A and B are shown apart, each in its own frame.
Chain A
Amino acid sequence: MWITLIYKFINMKKLIITALLFCGVCSFAQSTPLMINNYSKLRLEGRLMACSRINTNGYPVAFAAPNPPYGVYTVPPLTTDVEYVTLNTSGLSSQPILQWYITTAGGSNTYNYNDPAMAGVSSSVEWAMYHFVTKDDQGNGVDTFMMGNPMVSNMAGFSTNFNQVGTTAEAEWFSISGMVYLQVYDYP
């Protein structure tokens, strides 16, 4: 247990040092933090995706693997401050994304979030989309939301919305000073 913690600490230190070294180009790095605030009573289940705003087909396109213990990437009801600072630190979030499905021109691969390959992916992409179904406490699907930044998601072939209103929920995707937010509220 302690060995694991020390190992994690050393890795974190490396990440922090790397982050600091790269801080000089922070303003140019495309990856910005994502914060998800689910103020609604519904569970959100779907596909969270980041991709490039510039490259053909949006490569690399990164889809989040399900966060444990779920079988699909899920944000539970009334769960706020779910934060992903970068893709390659996503395993540290309160809703950990431990793996990413990455597609590039060369093909598809699955990487652990902290795989060395993820550093390059992380700095090449922006948060693009969360395409999700809202589910009530019986597990019934209610609405489908296609939330994201169309200027980014379009590159990967997905059309998303900054605002969407469903039958029992509404969602908005926006950014403030470089941080991307997805917020979901009960509706009306």
Chain B
Amino acid sequence: MKKLLTVIFIAAVSLIHAQNLKLIVNNYSTTFDFHGTLSAHNFGGGCYPYVTTNSPAMVVVPANANMNNGNELVYANFKDQYVNSLYPNASWMVQLSAATSIVRAWNHASIAPGGVISANTKWSSSQFQMYYAGTSTPEPSFSGLIGEPQDPCTGAISNISTPYGDVEWFNITTGNVDYSYLQIY
């Protein structure tokens, strides 16, 4: 009975509990290294919590690092990525409101899988800049904000085409599974 009443209020607001989410970055470009932030946020109304890579802020996925050679980036959640990913992020910038922002270590209870923040955020976008492979020389035209389209929280678009290469963001979803792919060609 208590649960029923709770459900009436909570059903409308709780959205992504127990979802199986992953972010996969495949860099198929052989010319450019990907440098980009990776962000997740609440898609349930209001943009917060808003969580972004912090150490490093710009994650580097080198040229030709993708599923074909096992060097793709895979982040399942804020915590397990540190132990499992080839591109570990030691901390995350967590914004719980427009006014607050705090850095949390990868293993902090606040962002643990199954916790409130984790359960209410979904991978959303990346602010990226491509660099000539192995150098610190950016290609200014090969950059942008890629992610879920029509997202008022980020303003990202899901397809960027340049003479130097293309970037796209797409999702494959079924049931409670939602895999987000960021692919660079």
Chain A residues at the B interface, C-beta cutoff of 8 Å? 8-9, 12, 15-16, 19-20, 23, 26, 33, 35, 37, 39, 83, 85, 89, 92, 162-163, 172, 174-179, 181, 183, 185-186
Query: In the docked arrangement, what's the CA distance between A182 and B66, Å?
Result: 40
Are A176 and B49 in contact (CB-based, < 8 A)?
Answer: yes
Query: In the docked arrangement, what's the CA distance between A89 and B9, Å?
Result: 12
Chain B, Cβ-Cβ closest to A179: B13
Q: What mask results when residues 108 to 126 of chain B are scored 1 for a CB within 8 Å of chain A, else 0?
A: 1110000110001000000
Query: In the docked arrangement, what's the CA distance between A177 and B97, Å?
Result: 11
Are A179 and B108 in contact (CB-based, < 8 A)?
Answer: no
Chain B residues with CB under 8 A of A176: 13, 42, 44, 46, 48-49, 116, 120
Are B99 and A162 in contact (CB-based, < 8 A)?
Answer: yes
Query: In the docked arrangement, what's the CA distance between A20 and B12, Å?
Result: 13
Are B4 and A16 in contact (CB-based, < 8 A)?
Answer: yes
Q: What are 14 A-B contacts with C-beta separation under 8 Å?
A: A15-B5, A19-B8, A26-B12, A85-B9, A92-B1, A92-B2, A92-B5, A162-B100, A174-B100, A176-B116, A181-B116, A183-B110, A185-B108, A186-B109
Are B8 and A16 in contact (CB-based, < 8 A)?
Answer: yes
Are A183 and B100 in contact (CB-based, < 8 A)?
Answer: no
Are B13 and A178 in contact (CB-based, < 8 A)?
Answer: yes
Select which of B5, B14, B102 is within 8 A of A85 by beta carbon.
B5
**Is B153 in the interface zone, CB < 8 Å from A?**
no
Chain B residues with CB under 8 A of A33: 6, 9-10
How many Å from the CB of B23 to the closest CB on chain A?
Answer: 20
Chain A residues with CB under 8 A of B6: 33, 83, 85
Given A177-B46, A185-B109, CB of A163 within 8 Å of CB of B100 = yes
Chain A, Cβ-Cβ closest to B4: A16
Chain A residues with CB under 8 A of B5: 12, 15-16, 19, 85, 89, 92
Given A172-B96, A176-B49, CB of A183 within 8 Å of CB of B116 = yes
Chain B residues with CB under 8 A of A85: 5-6, 9-10
Q: Which of A162, A174, A178 has the most CB of B within 10 A?
A: A174
Query: In the docked arrangement, what's the CA distance between A185 and B13, Å?
Result: 24
Query: In the docked arrangement, what's the CA distance between A181 and B117, Å?
Result: 10
Query: In the docked arrangement, what's the CA distance between A35 and B119, Å?
Result: 14
**Is B134 in the interface zone, CB < 8 Å from A?**
no
Q: What mask results when residues 23 to 65 of chain B are scored 1 for a CB within 8 Å of chain A, else 0?
A: 0000000000000000000101110110000000000000000
Chain A residues with CB under 8 A of B4: 12, 16
Query: In the docked arrangement, what's the CA distance between A37 and B99, Å?
Result: 22
Chain B residues with CB under 8 A of A92: 1-2, 5
Query: In the docked arrangement, what's the CA distance between A20 and B97, Å?
Result: 30
Chain B, Cβ-Cβ closest to A29: B9
Query: In the docked arrangement, what's the CA distance between A126 and B115, Å?
Result: 23
Chain B residues with CB under 8 A of A20: 8
Chain B, Cβ-Cβ closest to A161: B100
Chain B residues with CB under 8 A of A26: 9, 12
